[in-house]
Chains A and B, each alone.
Chain A
Amino acid sequence: DVKVTQSSRYLVKRTGEKVFLECVQDMDHENMFWYRQDPGLGLRLIYFSYDVKMKEKGDIPEGYSVSREKKERFSLILESASTNQTSMYLCASRSGGSGNTIYFGEGSWLTVV
């Protein structure tokens, strides 16, 4: 079974804090993704990575950065958290190639106060 683990499930941070969300997958997948999910807006892609040290912007990258130093780990960084970044963040991974399934982690609920 593919396992995508998000280490922080529930976080409360203050405005202006730096926030790290960590994600680890155990299936040697090339591609990893960070989405955020908000009511009425669905899942929106923040960043994705198709290889170590490679990253590409998704649809809403502003205010976020990512790091992929090892194949199994993909981190999302909020350099200076703001209240409009309160959301559920979903990490996902998939093997390279069209049509392959994307697997999600359990989600990280972030509240910025």
Chain B
Amino acid sequence: QKEVEQNSGPLSVPEGAIASLNCTYSDRGSQSFFWYRQYSGKSPELIMFIYSNGDKEDGRFTAQLNKASQYVSLLIRDSQPSDSATYLCAVEKGNEKLTFGTGTRLTIIP
């Protein structure tokens, strides 16, 4: 079992709809969870992080964490073509290292 799992996609969502990206992790000791966006040929950039159960909102983005079920999700409201990218989930176990999933490729259809 991979430490961090994501559906590779591609996930296609119409412009203006909600995109939902999911990530599961195997280690119950994981403490912090990050979502990164990566455009083709570019380096990852942080969207948001979460470490408490529940929802965390930042603009059009909402991260949801459920430690009991070991999953973290990212919702993107009012999806825009500029949201088309690969989204990486990363998990930290408190040892300073982040473990990344393989990413989900998201395409927003105009």
Binding site for B on A (CB under 8 A): 31, 33, 35, 40-45, 48, 50, 58, 90, 94, 96, 98-99, 101-107
User: Can you show 20 pairs from A to B with CB atoms below 8 A apart?
Assistant: A31-B96, A33-B98, A35-B100, A40-B8, A42-B100, A42-B102, A42-B103, A44-B100, A45-B97, A48-B96, A50-B96, A94-B96, A96-B96, A98-B31, A99-B31, A101-B34, A101-B49, A102-B46, A105-B43, A107-B42
- Categorize the interface residue count of chain B: 20 to 34
Given A98-B96, A104-B45: 19 more A-B contacts, CB < 8 Å: A33-B97, A40-B8, A42-B101, A43-B100, A45-B97, A45-B98, A45-B99, A90-B44, A96-B96, A98-B31, A98-B32, A98-B51, A98-B94, A99-B31, A99-B92, A101-B49, A102-B34, A103-B46, A105-B43
